[in-house]
Structure 1
Amino acid sequence: MAAIQYYDVILKPVVTEKSMAGMSEKKYTFLVHPEANKTMIKEAVEKMFEGAKVKKVNTMNLDGKTKRRGMTFGQTAKTKKAIVWLTEDSKDIEIFAGL
């Protein structure tokens, strides 16, 4: 495994109805690097977003979907999703502010 820097860990936020509803409880959902672990995700969130203090991190590995084009089958890439819980005294994450 190559050395993953903190700015390579978080790929993009997940914007769905369920993840937007979780923001009221200070739960934020991100797509993360497939080889990142919970401590790397916690460190990346606290470094990238000022004033954010992570309480806990839940992760899930998602398998790729099977796709068909004509008679050939293939699969999309595997992904990893992380749900980050912030503490009550933590500041909100700004990228979700306008959504």
Structure 2
Amino acid sequence: MSDKNLTPNETIKFQKTQEAEWIDLLRYPLATEKVSNPFLKNTYTFVVHPKASKKTIKQAFEYVFKVKVLSINTLMMPKKSRRRRQFEGYLPTYKKAILKLAPEYSLDFFGMEKTSLGI
């Protein structure tokens, strides 16, 4: 059925599965110098959907990565002003989630396996 044959009362609704919603909730891992040190403490930082709650972030992370999350800290990063010559604009705000995993679990995103030396 093409879009031209639809009346205004008829709509096609695309329903996502629960798995797709959870994958969309976790945007991407943050890979900065400040964030990379806590890998040794089994702590990971992700940019997540701004309206996501701690409970849904935990469920999504445990489902997608098959790990146990001990604690979650979230924070909204403020918008930043950027200027290019006479034009001024803003970088949008985003939400970060800092996740601490159980000691028996770990994620190897960047090839940073733990060694006996701790480096």
Q: TM-score, normalised by structure 1?
A: 0.84
Residues 36-59 of structure 1 deviation map (CA, whole Å, 9 limit, x = unaligned): 111111011101102x10001001
Higher relative contact order (CA 8 A, sep 6+): 1
C-alpha root-mean-square deviation of aligned residues, in Å? Answer: 1.8
Identical aligned residues as a percent: 35
> After the TM superposition, which segments of 4 or more aligned residues of structure 1 sit over 3 Å from their partners?
none
Report the AA paired with residue 44 of structure 1.
A
| 1:2-37 deviation per Cα after TM superposition (whole angstroms, max 9, x unaligned) | x99211111111112222210111100111111111
* Amino acid in structure 2 at the alignment position of 1:45: F
Structure 2 equivalent of residue 19 of structure 1: 35
Query: TM-score, normalised to structure 2's length?
Result: 0.71
Aligned to 1:37: 53
Distance 1:62 1:42 in 2: 20
Question: What residue identity is the alignment partner of 2:36?
Answer: M
1:88 to 71, 79, 103: 103
Amino acid at match of 2:33: E
Deviations 1:33-87 (A, max 9, x none): 111111111011101102x100010011011210112222111111111100111
Structure 2: segments with no counterpart, 5+ residues: 1-15, 113-119
For 2:13, the equivalent position in structure 1 comes to: none
Verify: 1:71 aligned to 2:86, yes or no.
Answer: yes
The amino acid across from 1:92 in the alignment is S
Alignment match of 1:48 (pick from 53, 64, 73): 64
SS in 2 for 1:56: strand
Q: How many residues align?
A: 94
Where does structure 1 lack aligned partners over 5 or more consecutive residues? none
